[in-house]
Chains A and B, each alone.
Chain A
Amino acid sequence: MSLMQIFDIAGTGMSAQSLRLNTTASNMANANSASSSADQTYRARHPVFAPMFNDAMADVFAGPESVSTGVRVLGVVEDARPLQPRYEPGHPLANEEGYVYYPNVDIVEEMTNMISSSRSFQLNVEVMTAARTMMQRVLTLGQQ
C-alpha cells in the first residue's frame, strides 16, 4: 500500500531534520567553548544526508532512474575550517604564548540552518497529517 509508505518517508525526513537541529544546537551551545590547545577545541559538526533506496542493489547503482524511499543520515562530519586563536593572556585557559583557541562555529550559518531545518521538519509533519487524512477517507469507501 503506497499510502503506508508515506509514513516511513515522512518519518525518515523528520528524523533527519531533528538530527540536523541537534547538531545545530550542539554547535551553538559550544560556540564559545575555549580551550588551550587546538586538538581539544570543539569543531562545528554537520550531518550529511543521502537518499534512502528500497533495496541494497539500488544503493550500489544509484543512477538517476532508481527510486528512493526517504532520506538517511550518512554521518556527521566535523567542519574543516580553521579554529580561531585569540590572544587573551588573562584567560585562565591561555597557553604559554597567551593564546586561547575558540571553535570554528559560524553563528549566522547555524541560525540559518536552524530555521531551515525546523521549516523542513514542519513540512514533513504536514505531509504525514495529509497522508493520514487521505487514508482515513479511503477507509470509508463504500460506507453510507
Chain B
Amino acid sequence: MAINFNNALGIHEQALILRTRRTTVLANNIANANTPGYKARDIDFQALLTQAGDSQRRSVDMARTHQRHLSGVSSSLADELLFRVPTQPSVDGNTVDEQIENAAFARNAIEHQASFQFLNSKFTGLMKALRGE
C-alpha cells in the first residue's frame, strides 16, 4: 500500500494555506486603518475550504487550451476577496474597524496554530508508522 500524502494529510494542508493567506489580508487591513477611501477586505474561509476539499481545485484555475499545458493555479487572491460590511463607516470612506480587525487577526492566529498542530501530528503519525516502533 503506497503512502499518499493527499489522503494522509487530509484537509489540514489546505486549511493552513488558507489561514496564512487570510493573515496577509487582515494585516493589510490593519496597515490601512487610516487610509482614506480604503475598504476592509476578508475571505470566506469556510466556502474556500469547502471548494478546496471538494475537488482539490480552486475557482481561479487557469484555462488549459492545449493538452500539454500544465494546470496552473492563480496566486492572486483578487477573485476570492470580499468586502467587510462596515458597522461604523467613517466620513473619509474608510471601513476598517481596528478592534474588529485585531480580534479577527488574533482568532486567525490561534486557528493557524490549530491547523498547524493537526498537520504536524499527521506527520508525526506517519513517521511513527514508518519506524514501526
**CB closest residue in chain A, given B116:** A137
B113 with A49: CB separation less than 8 A: no
**CB closest residue in chain A, given B81:** A67
Q: Main secondary structure on chain B at its contact with chain A?
A: helix
Residue B45 lies at the interface, judged by CB distance under 8 Å to chain A: no
Contact among B24, B35, B76 with A9 in the assembled complex (CB-CB below 8 Å): B24
Do A6 and B113 form a contact, CB below 8 Å, given A70-B31, A123-B33? no
How close is A70's CB to chain B, nearest CB, in angstroms?
5
**CB closest residue in chain A, given B77:** A67
Interface size on A, residues (CB 8 A): 41
- Bound-complex Cα distance A17 to B34 (A): 9
Which of B24, B27, B34, B81: most chain A Cβ within 10 A?
B27
Residue B5 lies at the interface, judged by CB distance under 8 Å to chain A: no
B-binding residues in A (CB < 8 A) = 2-3, 5-6, 9-10, 12-13, 16-17, 20, 48-51, 64-71, 116-117, 119-120, 123-124, 126-127, 130-131, 133-134, 137-138, 140-142, 144
Ordered by A's residue number, 18 sampled pairs between the chains whose C-beta atoms are within 8 Å are A2-B23, A9-B24, A10-B27, A10-B31, A49-B32, A49-B36, A67-B28, A68-B32, A70-B31, A71-B34, A116-B34, A117-B34, A123-B102, A127-B105, A133-B109, A134-B23, A137-B116, A141-B119
A-binding residues in B (CB < 8 A) = 16, 20-21, 23-24, 26-28, 30-36, 38-39, 41, 76-79, 81, 83, 98, 102, 105-106, 109, 112-113, 116, 119-120, 123-124, 127
